[in-house]
Amino acid sequence: MIFTIGKFLNSIKKPMIDQLLELDKQLLLVINGIGNEYWDYFWYFITNKQSFFPLYAILIYLMCKNKTKRSILLLLFIISLMITFTDQVTNLFKDGFERLRPCADKSISGLLRLENCHGFGFFSGHSSNSMAAAVFTILMLKSKLPKYIFLMIPWSLAVGFSRIYIGKHYPFDVICGWTFGFFSGYLFYFFYKKISNKYI
């Protein structure tokens, strides 16, 4: 792509945007710098998507419980569609803005505690996907687990924080990921309820 969103923004960049980006870098360095090797293991566990496969399985089981076969198939289809949509839109933004991950940016990577990486980071896929999953499951299970299901929000916040901690994303990448994920989760819950009420 010869002309990208990132290049366009660079062409119109103003001092205020520079200041915000600089603040973003400073916040990253503060968060990345507060860690130590003992906390590293914990946050690497949190940032690893495979760590939460048992949680995903339990949540899907609870959402499918007492539903008809058609309703379960629709639910699984909507969840798959939500994950695909959220993930692919995230990738479009990354390719469009071309903002390097902190650990891939030579101007800052040397100041980070953890390893180098590659690729673009705006916005965070972990943050968008986790928040979409959190919002969707809260809306689906709030009547079944009213006291506990809202813990999905702190879980998503922890996943996003882990991305800053290990130097894979700037705070702004994560905040934008959470924001997009929130709307994505709500949108696909709305689709599910709309289709379910009409056809199931």
Q: What is the pLDDT of residues 57-78, one digit of tens each?
A: 999 999 999 899 999 999 999 9
- pLDDT tens-digit profile of 27-43? 998 888 887 888 889 99
The three-class DSSP label of residue 167 is coil
Sketch out the chain's domains with CATH numbers: 5-199 (1.20.144)
Gap between the Cα atoms of 85 and 142, Å rounded: 24
**Whether 129 contacts 87, CB under 8 Å:** yes
CA dist 35 → 84, 106, 157, 160 (Å)? 33, 21, 17, 15
